[in-house]
Each structure stands twice: as C-alpha cells, then as structure tokens.
C-alpha cells in the first residue's frame, strides 16, 4: 500500500492530530513528497540506525511527516520515525513494522525559520541476527498545517481545505449540512462521499463531477450544477450512488450521464438534462419514484438506462436514434412513448411495459429479441420501416390486434407467440420465417400474407384456429407441425411445395381440398385426422410417411406416384374408393396395415350398392403388384388401367 493510499484510508486518525483541544478544525498542505529508497541493517550493537531523507529550510509552523518502512526479515521489537531540528529530536508514533509495509507519523512545530533534517530511525533488541528495513520508494510525505483555523460550527468554510485527494474526514462527514462555494470549479475523487447530513450544496461554477464525489450523501435532496458538463464512474465509485433522499436533478450542461450515476437514489422524482446526448448503462435503473425526465437532445441510451422505473408515465426523445437492451424494461406505468427518429431498439427494450397500449416507430428498421415481450396492454404498433422482427419480439402481447409491416422481410422464432387477439398481419415483402412457433396459438388470426415465403418452419401456425385460407405460392417446404391443429383451415394452395414434414397439417379437421401438384415427400402424420379432406391429387408424391392420411374419414380418391408407403398411411380411411399408383415401378409396401379399414377386403354401402376400393396401376405392372409382398393381400382389387 502506498503512503498516499494509507493517508486516504486512515485519514480520520490523522485528522485528530490536526484538531486542537477546543475543537477547531485545521487543514494542511503537501509541502514535499519523497521517492528516496534505502536500507537499514540494524542489530542490537548499532541500534538505533538512521536514514536521512532531506535537509531543508522550513518556515515557522506546525508540520506532519509521514514515512513508510518494509521489514524484510527479522523480528522487530520496535521502530519509529523521528525528525531532527537542530539538536532537538521530535519522536513520532512507534510502530511494529511487518511485511509488506507499515507507516508512522510525527508532528513537530518550528517557532522560526529553521534548518530541518528529516530522518527515519530504526531500532531492534535482536542480538544474534540483523533486522533489515527498506525505506520504500514514493512513501514519504511532508505536510504543513494551514495557519488558518475554522470553528467546527462553520463547516462550509472548513471544507474549502481538504487533505490529500480531496477527502473529507469522518468528523466533517457527520456534521456538514450545507455547503456553498461560488468559485470552486473542480472536486476530487470522493470529495463529499459519506456526508450523510449534507442536505444542500451550491457550486455554481463546478465543471465536472469525479467518481464517487457525492456517494452516500443520504440527506442530499437536490442537485443543481449549472456549469457541470462531465461526470465519471470508476471501480464502483459512482457520483451519486445511495443518495437516498435525492429528489431533483438539474444538470443543464452535462452532455453524458455516466454508468449507474444515480443508482439507489430511491427518492428521485425529476431529472432535467437539456444538453445530455447519451445515458450510460444503468444510470437511472430501478428508481421507482422517478416520474419526470427531460432529455430533448438525447441520441442514445445504453443497457438498462431506465430499467424498472415503475412510476415513469411517459418519455419523449425527439432526437434519439438508438435504445440499447432493457432501456425501459419493466417501466410498468409507461403509457406514452415518443421516439420519432429511433432506428434501433435493443432486446427487451420495452419488455414488461404493461401500461403501453400504442407506440409509433416510423424509422425503426429492427425490432430486436423480446423488445415488446409481456406488454400486456399493447394493442397497436406503427412500424412502416421495419425489415426484421426478432425472437419473441411480441411474446404475450395478448391485446395486440394487428401488425402491419409492409417492408418486413424476416421474422424470427416465436415473434408473435400466443397472441389471442391478433387477427390481421400484413407482410407483403416477407421472404424469411427464421425460426419456429412464429404465430403459435394466435387463435384469432384470420389473414396473413406469405406470398414470398419459401419455407414455413415448425409450429408456425399451430393452434391458429381462425385461419381458413392459405395461399403460399412460392413455398417449397412445410416443416414439422407447421399447421398442426389448425381447425379452421378449409383450403390449401401450395403450387410450389415439394415437402411436407411430420405433423405438418395434423388435425386440420376442416380442410376439404388441397392443391399441391409438385409434392414429393409427405412425412409422418402429415394429414392425420383431417376428417373433411375429400381428395388428394398428388401425382408427384413419391414418399408417403407413416399415418400420413390416418383417419381421413371423408377422403375418397388418392392420386400419387409413390415409391414407398409406410404403415398406417391410409388406415381408417373408410370412404377411400380409388387409389391411383402412377409409379413406373412397383411401390414398396413394408406393412399391410397401411390400408387398415380401407374397403379393400370388404365392401361398403354407397348409394344403395355395396362397392370396394380399387387400386389403379399401370397395365404393365398389374401382375407384379398382384404378387408383390403385402400387395398380394389385395390382389383382387387391382385394375391395370393406367
């Protein structure tokens, strides 16, 4: 530990030396610092041994000399510093020196100008071994008491003289209630930290607020520094942290609010920052009493700038272009937001703003992940320039009714997850659904334009019961469960689709017609329990997965060119009367249960007549089918008319 650090840490004990008996407060000035180094090898025979720092001429007054030593080895019985003035020696505090260093102070008074020899003196009672003391570099300071004294009652004047790095000792901290200085333009690190009775301060010419300057000023009620343009935070030393009574802040020239500047200022109500252009991370986070913020030229905010300011009703940022993560997250009273120039809103920026019902973002191009998640009262949003919507961007915005984004081209996973009132979505330029569950459980969604999308990811429209018509002309792939349980869908037009994944349209019980002329692959349970489906004209279909049409009780005709049909593919399709297999080779049938309960082995009554299902195959393959594995079971039902 350096002597400077020591003087800062132990200043209360030094202050007691500087205070006379009738409690007047003294201050002192640094006269000289020393970077001498040396070593004292002390034994009982040569003890005490001295090291001379300086010989200098000093005027009359009282002085304080502070010096540090390191005991390299040996057990010391006592060491001390002394100052020799002419023939008189003034001894300081005797200390036991231990590794790495200890410090001692001594006080001396000169009645007139005198030549002074500054020495450090070490002693030992060890008789066998040498005790070695190092005189530490940069570890000696000489102070002179300020000749002026200030009565304790006049603390405002006393504070004008502060020792070391502008510290105030514990005595001042506990008694200072008011301070005014019209000329002071700078303060040191932690200058007023811990002045827990300071309720008012006037510094009209102060230019900057250094780290920790007003920390833990628990009685301070207002801050009005008209000339301050800069404040700093460093190593958890925060300008106004824990000023728990602070209610009002006015910094008309401050251009930037430093990180966590007002953390734990739990009474803060009003902030005026007319020249501020940027708010750093956490500057006003979790201040639940904050109700008014003036930021007319602010252009950006960092992480959690106003996070959890639950009493903030509105925010007007006419020039702001960027809001970082969590900027207004959990601002539960925020009902009005004006950010006309905003280009980017970071993740969780407005998440949990439960009073927000409408927001206009005319220039925003990206709505990031979770930006509006859990905005439970958000009904409408204007975002004509948005091109990208991130992950869970509107999750649980249960009152959102419409989303109109004419320039949007990409939407990520769960962006509109579980929005029961969302009914209209306009995305005419959308080309990429970049993730699953995008409109999952939007039960009132009746219209969506996906005319340019090529892939519909997993669970995109699962439980979207009100979506009755689907036209996706460029779609080539429907992934797992994309339209699972869409009970309202009646018509499906997928002219470019070549693949439908597992459970793609599972339980779409009202779909009656499908037009998918290029379809080649149909996954497991793809049309499972589509009870209203009447026909499946899929002449390019080559792969039919397990239970693909399971329990399609209304289907009567299937036209396809399969190379393989897996188990239960058409099980319980009791109305199926015509199956067309246009493949140029015999289709593989691994399990005869693919046609369980299809009227192939028994007849069904239709229009007063009992009829069977027919399997139509190329004439050249008729005999092959009739004798093929598992197909032979239905040999009498084959017709070679293709």
Task: Show the tokens assigned to 224.
Answer: 């009005």
- Residue 136 resides in a domain: yes
- Residue 522 resides in a domain: no
Distance, CA of 220 to chain centre: 31
- Residue 133 resides in a domain: yes
pLDDT of residue 18: 34
pLDDT of residue 84: 54
- Residue 82 resides in a domain: yes
Question: Which whole number is the average pLDDT over 543-553?
Answer: 96
- C-beta of residue 570 within 8 angstroms of C-beta of residue 545: no
pLDDT of residue 162: 37
Domain that holds residue 92: 28-145
Count of domains forming the chain: 1
CA–CA gap between residue 398 and residue 196 (Å, rounded): 47
518 phi and psi angles, rounded to 5 deg: -100, 5
Task: Examine the pLDDT at 41 and tell me if it is beyond 80.
Answer: no
522, 526, 543 from 540: Cα distances, Å: 11, 16, 9
- H/E element, 139: strand 131-145
DSSP 366-391: EE-TTTTTT-TT--EEE-TT--EE-T
pLDDT in tens, 484-536: 877 778 887 899 999 999 999 999 888 888 889 999 999 999 999 999 999 99
CA–CA gap between residue 633 and residue 299 (Å, rounded): 77
pTM here is 0.70
- Residue 158 resides in a domain: no
pLDDT of residue 368: 96
- C-beta of residue 507 within 8 angstroms of C-beta of residue 525: no
- For the chain, give the number of residues: 642
3-state SS track over 107-131: EEEECCCEEEEEEEEECCCCCCCCE
Q: What is the DSSP letter of 586?
A: P
- Residue 233 resides in a domain: no
- In terms of phi and psi (left: phi > 0; alpha: psi -120 to 50; beta: otherwise), the region of 264 is left
- Residue 288 resides in a domain: no
pLDDT of residue 606: 79
Bridge partners, 522 (sequence order): 500, 544
**Rounded percentage of the chain residues whose pLDDT exceeds 90:** 57
- H/E element, 80: strand 79-85
pLDDT in tens, 232-291: 888 888 999 999 999 999 999 999 999 999 999 999 999 999 999 999 999 999 999 999
Nearest to 171 by CA among 66, 28, 26, 30: 26
Task: Show the tokens assigned to 82.
Answer: 């002394």
pLDDT of residue 642: 93
- Residue 63 resides in a domain: yes
Task: Show the tokens assigned to 230.
Answer: 């800069």
Of 81-90, 100-109, 113-122, 621-630, the range with the lowest mean pLDDT is: 81-90
Range among 73-87, 112-126, 505-519 with highest mean pLDDT value: 505-519
pLDDT in tens, 320-343: 999 999 999 999 999 999 999 999
Higher pLDDT: 384 or 26? It is 384
Alpha helices in 296-335 (DSSP H): none
DSSP SS3 for 477? strand
Question: Which whole number is the average pLDDT over 300-326?
Answer: 97
Write the CB contacts of 217 (distance below 8 Å, at least 6 apart in sequence).
192, 193, 194, 195, 196, 198, 240, 243, 246
Strands (E), 175-283: 178-180, 200-202, 208-209, 222-224, 230-231, 248-250, 256-257, 270-272, 278-279
Nearest to 378 by CA among 397, 392, 404: 397
Of 35-39, 252-256, 427-431, 529-533, the range with the lowest mean pLDDT is: 35-39
CA–CA gap between residue 510 and residue 491 (Å, rounded): 9
432-434 and 410-412 strand pairing: parallel
CA–CA gap between residue 628 and residue 536 (Å, rounded): 25
CATH number of the CATH domain containing 65: 2.60.120.260
Of 170-174, 394-398, 540-544, the range with the lowest mean pLDDT is: 170-174
């Amino acid at each position: 530990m350096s002597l400077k650090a020591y003087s800062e840490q132990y200043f209360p004990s030094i202050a007691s030396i500087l205070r006379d008996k009738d409690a007047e407060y003294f201050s002192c000035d640094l006269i000289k610092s020393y970077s001498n180094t040396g070593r004292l090898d002390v034994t009982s025979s040569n003890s005490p041994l001295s090291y001379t720092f300086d010989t200098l001429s000093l005027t009359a007054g009282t002085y304080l000399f502070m010096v540090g030593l390191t005991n390299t080895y040996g057990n010391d019985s006592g060491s001390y510093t002394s100052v020799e003035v002419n023939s008189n020696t003034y001894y300081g505090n005797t200390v036991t020196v231990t590794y790495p260093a200890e410090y001692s102070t001594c006080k001396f008074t000169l009645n007139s100008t005198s030549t002074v020899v500054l020495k450090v003196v070490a002693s030992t009672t060890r008789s066998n071994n040498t005790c070695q003391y190092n005189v530490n570099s940069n570890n000696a300071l000489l102070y002179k008491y300020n000749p002026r004294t200030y009565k304790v009652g006049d603390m405002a004047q006393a504070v004008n003289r502060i020792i070391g790095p502008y510290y105030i000792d514990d005595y001042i901290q506990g008694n200072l209630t008011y301070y005014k200085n019209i000329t002071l333009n700078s303060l040191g690190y932690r200058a007023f930290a811990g002045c827990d009775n300071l309720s008012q301060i006037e510094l009209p010419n102060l230019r900057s607020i250094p780290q920790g300057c007003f920390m833990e000023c628990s009685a301070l009620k207002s801050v009005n520094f008209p000339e301050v343009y800069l404040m700093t935070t460093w190593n958890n030393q925060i300008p106004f942290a824990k000023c728990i009574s602070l209610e009002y802040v006015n910094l008309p020239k401050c251009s930037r609010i430093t990180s966590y500047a007002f953390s734990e200022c739990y009474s803060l109500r009003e902030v005026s920052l007319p020249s501020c252009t940027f708010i750093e991370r956490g500057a006003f986070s979790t201040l639940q009493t904050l109700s008014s913020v003036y930021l007319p030229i602010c252009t950006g905010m960092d992480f959690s700038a106003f996070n959890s300011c639950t009493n903030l009703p509105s925010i007007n940022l006419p020039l702001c272009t960027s809001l970082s993560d969590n900027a207004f997250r959990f601002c539960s009273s925020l009902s009005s937001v004006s950010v006309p120039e905003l280009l980017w809103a970071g993740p969780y920026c407005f998440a949990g703003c439960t009073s927000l019902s409408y927001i206009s973002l005319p220039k925003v191009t990206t709505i990031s992940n979770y930006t509006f998640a859990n905005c439970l009262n958000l009904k409408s949003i204007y975002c004509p320039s948005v091109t990208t919507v991130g992950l869970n961007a509107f999750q649980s915005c249960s009152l959102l009714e419409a989303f109109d984004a004419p320039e949007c081209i990409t939407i990520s996973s769960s962006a509109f997850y579980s929005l029961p009132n969302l009914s209209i979505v306009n995305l005419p330029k959308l080309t990429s659904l970049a993730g699953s569950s995008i409109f999952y459980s939007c039960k009132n969604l009746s219209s969506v334009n996906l005319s340019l999308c090529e892939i519909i990811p997993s669970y995109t429209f699962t439980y979207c019961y009100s979506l009755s018509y689907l036209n996706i002309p460029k779609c080539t792939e429907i992934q797992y469960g994309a339209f699972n349980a869409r009970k309202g869908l009646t018509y499906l037009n997928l002219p470019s689709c070549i693949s439908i994944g597992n459970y793609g349209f599972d339980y779409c019980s009202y779909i009656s017609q499908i037009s998918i002329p290029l379809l080649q692959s149909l996954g497991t349970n793809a049309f499972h329990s589509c009870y209203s489906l009447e026909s499946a004209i899929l002449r390019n279909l080559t792969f039919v997965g397990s239970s693909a049409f399971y329990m399609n009780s209304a289907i009567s005709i299937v036209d396809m060119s399969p190379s393989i049909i897996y188990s239960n593919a058409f099980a319980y399709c009791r109305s199926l009367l015509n199956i067309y297999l246009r493949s140029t080779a015999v289709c593989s049938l691994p399990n005869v249960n693919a046609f369980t309960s299809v009227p192939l082995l028994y007849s069904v009554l239709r229009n007063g007549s009992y009829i069977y299902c027919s399997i139509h195959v190329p004439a050249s393959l008729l005999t092959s089918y009739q004798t093929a594995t598992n197909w032979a079971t239905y040999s009498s039902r084959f017709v070679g008319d293709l």
